[in-house]
A = this chain, B = another copy of it.
Amino acid sequence: MAQIMEKVPGPEDKQDPQAEQDAKVKDSLGKIKNKFIVMSGKGGVGKTSTSVNLSIALANKGFKVGIMDVDLHGPDVPRMLGLEGMLDLNQNRKLNPARYSENLKAVSIESLTPNKDEAIIWRGPIKYSAIQQFIGDVEWGELDFLIIDSPPGTGDEPLTVAQTIQDAKAIIVTTPQEVALADVRKSISFCKTVKMEIFGIIENMSGLPCPHCGETIDLFGSGGGEKTARTSGSAFLGSIPFDPNVVLCGDSGTCFQDAHGDSLVSQAFDRIAGKLAELV
């Protein structure tokens, strides 16, 4: 059965453990050139599938990429990447990330939980501590990109990332309907408040070509992401259509871009990855 953790382990019994942790965090971050947090106002807009597919597109371009999954209550990165098993400690007593490929590695609470069906029932302070450990206690090594998949909203997890990784840039994922866009405006307000640069906005699930008749179905409307980017003065990174194969591949841990390399979705991710690659 899951455990409820409401308190952080007390610092009083260690010698300035926060300073020690801060030093480890700084050391890890110093080896990572570009840090992006993938955020969304609303859940279920395909934030994790965007994080995963963007990371794979970058890795395919030859970059060294890490994915850090800070969605502690719904950690879906390992399943979508088809990563099984637990993380192990190396000789420096740091965690080795799980390896998806030569260029792509990942860390998630899911890879540290023996029983995958168990809930992580953590209140805020323990989340802060966990995310700091995901950075400082993990052997990330030299990376061109760290892609951070965060839970929806503007709570403890993105706040901890913003405060810990001061040069992180935000990529905000949304679907086109107004209810989602209302929440995106909150994400933009969040970034301004914590002084995090918004790299751009991605519109996901932007129309579905019917697999039977080929006509486009506007599941959630369309164009709202681009309009919100324009209104808020943010860059628009692109639209990604809905493709049921993304769901199927995510469920089975199959690489969508390997299986459907010519699809509109793969092309869209390749274009967006190109925009990130210009930074390197």
Contact = CB atoms under 8 A, between A and B. Distances in A.
B188 A117 contact: yes
Given A178-B79, A210-B213, A221-B247, A154 B123 contact: no
A1 B193 contact: yes
B219 A242 contact: yes
B193 A4 contact: yes
Task: Give chain A's interface residue range (CB within 8 Å of chain B).
Answer: 35 or more
Contacts of A121: 154-155, 159, 190, 193-194
Per assembly, the copies of the chain total 2
Interface string A199-221: 00000000010111101011111
B213 A156 contact: no
Interface string A161-192: 00000000000000101110011011111101
Nearest to A47: B43
Interface of A: 1-4, 40-45, 48, 71-74, 76, 79-80, 116-125, 127, 151-156, 159, 175, 177-179, 182-183, 185-190, 192-194, 208, 210-213, 215, 217-221, 242, 244, 247-248, 250-252
